[in-house]
Amino acid sequence: MASGEDTLISRYFAPLATDPGAFGLRDDAAVLKTAGEDLVVNTDAIVEGVHFLPDDPPDTIAHKALRTNLSDLAAKGAEPAGFVLTLALKARDEAWLAAFARGLGEDIQTYGCPLLGGDTVSTSGPTMISVTAFGRIPEGRTVRRAGAQVGDLIVVTGTIGDAALGLAVLQGRLTSSNEELLIDRYRVPQPRCALARAVREHATASMDVSDGLAGDLAKLCGVSGVAAVIEAAMLPLSAPASALLDAGMIGIETLVAGGDDYEILCTMPEERVASFMAQAEEAGVAAAVIGEIVAGEAQVRFVDAEGREIALKRHSYSHF
């Protein structure tokens, strides 16, 4: 009497749901234990043709679906506690599902983030994966976007702009000496979960960069009631991104207004930076000071080494 949906779940996803609260995916709902901490809740969906390409390897699609959410939890200072998954599929493709489930299983292990439940539905449209992830954090310690203070320094992890370049390479709009690195950065975000504690100990405001550094920083500034100045030369760039910029193949807006970075962007008083950097180094995550919070109303100015403003043509990616 088992339906196709049930066998799909029992074959591919039940083996991943080893947490006791998931009830082996054989119940209506899951149970998450609590102990007076705060739960940070984040939901992010990825759509075929928008956030990933139809021929991206299915395991990387699973990585992207979960990691975009883990990136938000890390930016808030929270440790992963579990997630639920909604999968909207056009058809049942066993090879795709097997690879997708394998990728998901790898991340469940890597990030210690159990699969608690999900829903599988059919759609005539593009494949869509919606994840809601939960993170635990001591009560009242969630680091918000609001909170940046005039004089705070601005820190970003990893490198900026690679994913946008990787997408351009995949779409045949760009060539690079290291296309593999850029494509990997587009397909497989590296959520900075290892920095969650450093963020909650030091940052006054924090968010993850997903729609472009410039636009995302403007949002942080907007809710904090401040403005920002970024020194373009201090932006952390990968070697291929630097090479493309130096060769004039791309402008700086390609790097700071592209999407899919999934790095942490945070602010902190100058005296906190050394401790934050030490924790980042210990965690094996690169981090760089890129500018300063100033008085103003949500403006983000990019300046060159001489302090001259660099005009940007666009700031971020939007769906509508």
Do residues 75 and 143 lie in contact, with contact meaning Cβ atoms separated by under 8 Å? yes
The burial class, CB within 10 Å (0-12 / 13-18 / 19+), for 26 is exposed
Nearest to 238 by CA among 158, 155, 305: 158
Calpha distance 179→164 (Å, rounded): 12
Report, in Å, the least distance between residue 178 CB and a copy of itself: 30
- Give Rg (Cα) of the chain: 20
Report, in Å, the least distance between residue 61 CB and a copy of itself: 15
Report, in Å, the least distance between residue 48 CB and a copy of itself: 9
Of 105 and 215, the one with the shorter C-beta distance to a copy of itself is: 215
Of 53 and 223, the one with the shorter C-beta distance to a copy of itself is: 223
Report, in Å, the least distance between residue 201 CB and a copy of itself: 18
Tell me which residue has tokens 């608690």: 116
Calpha distance 148→161 (Å, rounded): 23
Report, in Å, the least distance between residue 2 CB and a copy of itself: 9
Report, in Å, the least distance between residue 222 CB and a copy of itself: 8
Of 167 and 207, the one with the shorter C-beta distance to a copy of itself is: 207
Of 100 and 134, the one with the shorter C-beta distance to a copy of itself is: 134
The burial class, CB within 10 Å (0-12 / 13-18 / 19+), for 135 is buried
- Region label for 139, one of left (φ > 0), alpha (ψ between -120 and 50) or beta (otherwise): beta
Do residues 259 and 314 lie in contact, with contact meaning Cβ atoms separated by under 8 Å? no
Of 68 and 279, the one with the shorter C-beta distance to a copy of itself is: 68
Report, in Å, the least distance between residue 113 CB and a copy of itself: 13
Nearest to 50 by CA among 129, 149, 118: 129
Do residues 231 and 217 lie in contact, with contact meaning Cβ atoms separated by under 8 Å? no
- Structure tokens given for 297: 């109303």
Report, in Å, the least distance between residue 238 CB and a copy of itself: 24
Of 23 and 242, the one with the shorter C-beta distance to a copy of itself is: 23
Of 84 and 241, the one with the shorter C-beta distance to a copy of itself is: 84
Calpha distance 214→226 (Å, rounded): 14
Calpha distance 99→57 (Å, rounded): 8
Pairing of strands 115-122, 79-89: parallel
- In degrees and rounded to multiples of 5, residue 316 shows phi and psi of -165, 175
Report, in Å, the least distance between residue 211 CB and a copy of itself: 8
Of 112 and 125, the one with the shorter C-beta distance to a copy of itself is: 125
Of 41 and 288, the one with the shorter C-beta distance to a copy of itself is: 41
Calpha distance 180→163 (Å, rounded): 11
